[in-house]
Amino acid sequence: MPGRRINSAGKYHVPEARTQSKPVRCGRISRFMSNAALTPVLFALLLLVGLAQLLGQLFVRLRQPKVIGEILAGVVLGPAVLGRVPWVGHLIQTATQQGNILEFIYWLGLLLLMFLSGAEMRQLFTGDERREVGWLTIVGTGLPFLLALILGPWLIRPSLAGPNGNHISLLIILAVGVAVTSVPVVSKIFSDLKILHTRFARLVLGVAVLEDIVLWLALAVATAMAGKGALDLRKLSYHLVATVGFFVLGLTIVPRLVKRINKADFNVLAKSSPVGYTIAVLLAYCALAGALDVSLVFAAFLAGFAVVHKKRRLFADALDAIGKVAFAFFIPVYFAMVGLKLDLVRGVSLGMIAAFLAGTCAIKMLSVSLAGRFAGFRGLDLINLAITTNARGGPGIVLASVAFDAGIISSKFYTTLVVAAVLTSQLAGAWLDYVLRKGWPLLTPTVGEEPMAVSRETPSAA
């Protein structure tokens, strides 16, 4: 968790809880935090969001994904760089120990990211090109996932496991890490390149939407199975049933129910304050998930999936308003704290990073190329599809964060997953920008389709 520190032995050190607290007097407002205690938290937030936005915009100008700059902000403020400066390191350490405020903002940023990603996935669902999407999803995603599950027992080492990691949960995390594709990052790349409405974009996003829903479910199962020692089959069975049931209902029946509530006459909140109502849906999903002991991350994703109502513009405006605040503050702080948790002093294994990148990229790209051939694509089409669907982006980072916070993976494996997500996203953005600047087609035009004209002035991915 963001508030945890790693001691010299490589173990997590959690500050001891205070056993005494001041009594709350009736009729008076209790001051939970003094100005002196709150000031370092606010200053740390200022540094995190300010540097995240600054480096994010710098990476945009360098034709790189913005998220890389936001993660780098946390790295710069961490123990590997500015954290070595006494006052900066003391400030960040003090802020993380004050009432877990930074930890709460970290989780709120993650929940908002998943909520907005779920809403974006629902809007991108399309029935076009079903045959191509089917092949790319079943083979391009299923084959890497199955290969990782089959080869995993020979690949997993003790250095990958966290304090709660067991053989099965590690296998699932490894398989998801190989197969995942980023919808938010890929859609942002397409938007900045002005190719969001092309057939190529529809195919890639259709595949990413379907595969990420399945892989989020797999990740939810992995977190349910995380634990020390022997597995409690009764407890595990409950977690699996609750998680799968929550997911299935959240993708089928509940969205229809929410849609009815959205347009019901008695729903005064939706009419008077669409933003407040939309946030209430998110909180209700998370509260229900918490009561059922289902991961809040996946509840937020399903809440975003359910709240979208294409025929009522006010909910689109509400999501837009929430997105502006989230992407201006909460999500940059979340990614900055992802970078802050990276232990680049003791938590880096260059051999692990190189092996994971080489192996996972080869498996994913070869699988997508094979799926593309089954779907009827050839030549440059296969290369474009393989490199683009290999971008792990935000989901890859969320995978690392959730698995690390659940204690499934070690700090070295966490760093490896984050670095892989960043580098594969960079590769996808740079390659598509190169293809468009060369004037090459992303996909060979079908019969009756005009080739897409691309200007050499096309902006690159942010």
DSSP string, 130-172: HHHHHHHHHTTTHHHHHHHHHHHHHH--GGGB-TT--HHHHHH
Q: Which amino acid is at 157?
A: R
Cα 214 to Cα 175: distance, rounded to the nearest angstrom: 12
Tell me, what's the pLDDT at 311?
61
Tell me, what's the pLDDT at 322?
92
Tell me, what's the pLDDT at 47?
87
Cα 293 to Cα 243: distance, rounded to the nearest angstrom: 8
Check if the beta carbon of residue 152 is closer than 8 Å to that of residue 126.
Answer: no
Structure token digits, residue 153: 């027992």
pLDDT exceeds 50 at position 21 = no
Give the distance, in angstroms, between the CA of residue 314 and the centroid of all CA atoms in the same chain. 26
Model's pTM, two decimal places? 0.71
Structure token digits, residue 376: 């009827």
231 pLDDT tier (thresholds 50, 70, 90): low
User: What is the share, in percent, of the chain residues with pLDDT greater than 90?
Assistant: 11
pLDDT exceeds 90 at position 284 = yes
Phi, psi of 5 (to 5 degrees): -120, 155
Overall average pLDDT of the 24-28 stretch? 46
pLDDT exceeds 90 at position 282 = yes
Tell me, what's the pLDDT at 26?
45
Which residues face 5 on adjacent strands?
13
Tell me, what's the pLDDT at 162?
82
Measured at the CA of 195, the angle between CA 189 and CA 199, to 5 degrees, comes to: 115
Tell me, what's the pLDDT at 49?
92
Tell me, what's the pLDDT at 177?
85
Check if the beta carbon of residue 241 is closer than 8 Å to that of residue 224.
Answer: no
Q: Per-residue pLDDT tens for 397-425? A: 878 888 888 888 888 888 888 888 888 88
Overall average pLDDT of the 109-122 stretch? 80
Overall average pLDDT of the 92-120 stretch? 79
pLDDT, mean over the chain: 77
Q: Residue 348 class from Cβ within 10 Å (0-12 exposed, 13-18 middle, 19+ buried)?
A: middle
Q: Which of 29-33, 247-251, 451-455 has the lowest mean pLDDT?
A: 451-455
pLDDT exceeds 80 at position 391 = yes
Overall average pLDDT of the 420-445 stretch? 86
pLDDT exceeds 90 at position 212 = no
Measured at the CA of 70, the angle between CA 303 and CA 61, to 5 degrees, comes to: 115
CA separation, residue 23 to residues 29, 30, 70, 359 (Å) = 11, 9, 41, 57
Overall average pLDDT of the 127-137 stretch? 74
123 pLDDT tier (thresholds 50, 70, 90): low
Tell me, what's the pLDDT at 383?
93
User: What is the share, in percent, of the chain residues with pLDDT greater than 70?
Assistant: 78
Q: Per-residue pLDDT tens for 138-171? A: 888 888 889 888 888 887 777 788 887 777 888 8
Tell me, what's the pLDDT at 127?
53
Measured at the CA of 68, the angle between CA 120 and CA 164, to 5 degrees, comes to: 80
Tell me, what's the pLDDT at 160?
83
Q: Residue 456: CA atoms inside 13 Å, Cβ hemisphere, count?
A: 1
Which residues face 6 on adjacent strands?
12
Of 115, 410, 36, nearest to 289 by C-alpha is: 115
Structural domains in the chain, CATH included, are 42-438 (1.20.1530.20)
Q: Per-residue pLDDT tens for 305-325? A: 888 866 666 678 888 899 899
Structure token digits, residue 330: 């909460």
Q: Which of 55-64, 400-409, 440-449 has the lowest mean pLDDT?
A: 440-449
Cα 318 to Cα 355: distance, rounded to the nearest angstrom: 44
Tell me, what's the pLDDT at 126?
53
Q: Per-residue pLDDT tens for 351-380? A: 888 989 999 899 999 999 999 998 889 889
Tell me, what's the pLDDT at 120?
72
Q: Which amino acid is at 137?
A: T
